[in-house]
Amino acid sequence: MAEAHQAVAFQFTVTPEGVDFRLSREVLKHIYLSGIRSWKKRLIRIKNGIIRGVYPGSPTSWLVVVMATVGSSYYNLDISMGLVYYIQRWLPEGRPSRTPYTRTLFSMAIFSTGVWMMGIFFFRQTLKLLLSYHGWMFEMHGQTSHLTRVWAVCVRLLSSRRPMLYSFQTSLPKLPVPSVPATVHRYLESVEHLLDDEQYYRMETLAKEFEEKTAPRLQKYLVLKSWWATNYVSDWWEEYVYLRGRNPLMVNSNYYVMDLVLVKNTDVQAARLGNVVHAMITYRRKLDREEIKPVMALGLVPMCSWQMERMFNTTRIPGKDTDVLQHLPDSRHVAVYHKGRFFKVWLYEGSRLLKPRDLEMQFQRILDDPSPPQPGEERLAALTAGGRVEWAQARQAFFGSGKNKAALDAIERAAFFVALDEESHHYDPEDEASLSLYGKALLHGNCYNRWFDKSFTLISFKNGQLGLNTEHAWADAPIIGHLWEFVLGTDSFHLGYAETGHCLGKPNPVLPPPQRLEWDIPEQCQAVIESSYQVAKALADDVELYCFQFLPFGKGLIKKCRTSPDAFVQIALQLAHFRDRGKFCLTYEASMTRMFREGRTETVRSCTRESTAFVQAMMQGHHLNKDLQHLFRKAAEKHQNMYRLAMTGAGIDRHLFCLYVVSKYLGVESPFLAEVLSEPWRLSTSQIAQFQIRMFDPNKYPKHLGAGGGFGPVADDGYGVSYMIAGEDTIFFHVSSKFSSSETNAQRFGNQIRQALLDIANLFQVPKADG
């Protein structure tokens, strides 16, 4: 094969005259260029490390301090208060400092550098102290206090210099450990209305016993960890919630993200991939160079960027007891799946990133390749969709050497995974079921055409529609959303397409074709693959997914009700759930804790006493609108307060989770913690972030909307609900449940959500759009 010959840098033959060497100039050229590129990346990282390390200082500010010190000496002013003279005395006498003038300059430079570094340390500590203030979050909209205004000015002054992606990392405060009494009190408050008197008395007794006897010892260890570790939650959360899970990743852990659904740039599958893959690698280059601006709340408060480090070149490696995340500093290829075959596509020619038209050509070559799958190859990826123990055992037994190891390495060491599907999916507003079918294809596909272990799989349908399936352990949804917004904006407004639908420019036909991966899969391994496929297929067939666009109103009308859009939707979910199931349940809403270093998520227990009081009043049907409005606003205010507490480190569940981990390490039994951690989340919800990057003006291009994404139900007899308040006039919902549960029905619940939103809006008598 041509690519095999090109992979050989030199050959030699032994002859009677000696050894005859034959060098491949082309390969040596590529090796040379690869080395140059690697050294460039190292130098960029060193430069970025220095610039980031001295932020908010800069080389210019250092020069100013040096010039001030030197300049003051000409006016016989000693701003060092004798320190320059003291430093000069300790300088060794040698050739570099043989004259008094040179020794004085050296002393001034050392003094100035010390003052400059002390200034940087002072500014950083001041910024960290300022960022620890969260009072601004609890103030009513339009009622900013004088303290908060002064705080905002100080934060803006200290962060005014253009930051790099990780410039604020060391200035972010640590996630605080709440006090045990506060956490226990908030927990009991969150379940009191969900339990009868006897159940609540029992839980209150367990909680009191835990607080007085067990918790103080556990809390001491947790506080000690918070002093030592960067974040007292994140490493344990990643390990015990994600990596130690032995159930299939598909449906249970991975989630999906949809494409733009109301506009279409091209119908050409390979062309769309060419632009999008090019945009993704451009984003990765910006990520490596730290050229991406950190996300700022209100344009002022920096969010932690730590999770972005493992976006690319990352794979979850299965283990018998626990998985591990393998992250590589770089990768020059992507792995591609099409019609049961795996390919390796190079992203660079030497040190140059391939242009979109070249990438389109490479993907089209794969689409045109008529070769059949090798034995066992077609359903190989089902191993990543089945149980983790079975996959770990198969990996160790059949993929540890030879062709299989080389091919598996090509997939696991790829920048990301690309799936070229033969079917078409898109959202047709005239056919509501089309959005649900599109979501199902992204969530699990046919159970063997996604590599669920990769940080993300880019899915391309035959009609040019795209989507993502994302592994959850390495980061949370807003992180992949940041990438996706950049990619879709770059594809639509910067790269563009020719009138024929192809990428702009001309391809380079001399590029070597994609490399077909070679496998040697024995029958025993094929049996394991089939077993994993059956497990995955049963899981996928059991998932009911109902996705819909809610058209009557969006955040525009909700704001007229003078409430938070998220609180509005969450209270509507409580009303819908009660109508659907006839009871309330423990409800999970994910919030972020990225205002703290290495923060991830916290739980908002959104089924509150206030929201249940509102729902019960709505169900009774005889209350006046003004009374219902009052109850609704109380519920909304409570929800917003719970959300703010979660964001500022005063949540309930992460603290209890970490106390539980400490108890397991110490061998301490806690009936209270065991019961809390075993409570099922029968309604799991999440709002999808949007417009983290201003790639375009949404008011100018209102049709450029993604539909968000979704996930599988957390409980077998529960619902999973994600929603994106996509604009002023629309909301997208993704509702999941399991067919095997006789108590749940995703479409039925979706219809209840629709009606609940309309009923709450009617309370405020605000005109709505038709639909």
**Which pairing describes strands 301-302 and 341-346: parallel, antiparallel, or unpaired?**
unpaired
- Residue 229 in domain: no
| 99-141 pLDDT, tens digit each | 776 777 778 888 888 888 888 888 889 999 999 999 999 987 7
Q: Which residues contact 388 (CB under 8 A, 6 or more apart)?
A: 245, 246, 247, 248, 249, 318, 319, 323
**Whether 93 and 120 share a structural domain:** yes
Contact 288/41 with Cβ under 8 angstroms? yes
How far apart CA 685 and CA 601 sit, in angstroms, is 13
**Whether 397 and 518 share a structural domain:** yes
3-state helix/strand/coil string of 186-233: HHHHHHHHHCCHHHHHHHHHHHHHHHHHHHHHHHHHHHHHHHHCCCCC
Residue 8's pLDDT is 42
Residue 768's pLDDT is 57
Q: Spell 179-193 as b/e; 16+ CB within 10 A means b.
A: ebeebbebbbebbeb
Residue 10's pLDDT is 44
For 420, the enclosing helix (H) or strand (E) is strand 417-420
- Residue 218 in domain: no
- Residue 195 in domain: no
**Whether 702 and 561 share a structural domain:** yes
**Whether 602 and 699 share a structural domain:** yes
Examine the residue annotation and report whether 704 is marked as an active-site residue of this protein: no
> How many beta carbons lie within 10 A of that of residue 765, not counting itself?
8
Domain-ending residue, one of 99, 127, 158: 158
In this structure, what CATH number is given to the domain that contains residue 610? 3.30.559.10
- Residue 220 in domain: no
How many residues are present in the chain? Answer: 771
**Whether 566 and 449 share a structural domain:** no
- Residue 215 in domain: no
**Which pairing describes strands 348-349 and 341-346: parallel, antiparallel, or unpaired?**
unpaired
**Whether 514 and 581 share a structural domain:** no
Domain-ending residue, one of 512, 544, 576: 544
Domain residues for 748? 551-648+681-770
| 23-54 pLDDT, tens digit each | 556 656 666 666 676 677 778 778 777 777 77
How far apart CA 65 and CA 115 sit, in angstroms, is 8
Nearest to 173 by CA among 303, 307, 310: 303
Domain-ending residue, one of 158, 185, 220: 158
For the chain, the distance separating the N- and C-terminal CA atoms, rounded to the nearest angstrom, is 59
**Whether 147 and 252 share a structural domain:** no
Q: What share of the chain is helix, strand, coil (3-state, %, to 5)?
A: 50, 15, 35
How far apart CA 413 and CA 335 sit, in angstroms, is 9
Residue 154 burial by Cβ neighbours in a 10 Å radius (0-12, 13-18, 19+):
middle
Residue 1's pLDDT is 38
**What sign does the CA torsion over 209, 210, 211, 212 have?**
positive
**Whether 357 and 430 share a structural domain:** yes
Domain count, the chain: 4
Side-chain-facing half-sphere of 628: CA atoms under 13 Å: 21
**Whether 466 and 570 share a structural domain:** no
| Residue ranges of the chain whose pLDDT lies below 50 | 1-10, 12, 19
**Whether 35 and 131 share a structural domain:** no
Contact 366/343 with Cβ under 8 angstroms? yes
**Whether 107 and 246 share a structural domain:** no
Residue 726's pLDDT is 86
pTM, to two decimals: 0.90
**Whether 509 and 555 share a structural domain:** no
- Residue 117 in domain: yes
**Which pairing describes strands 731-738 and 543-550: parallel, antiparallel, or unpaired?**
antiparallel
- Residue 144 in domain: yes
Catalytic residue among 472, 502, 577, 639: 472
Q: Which residues pair with 467 in a beta bridge?
A: 258, 459
- Residue 184 in domain: no
Write out the two tokens for 104: 């004085």
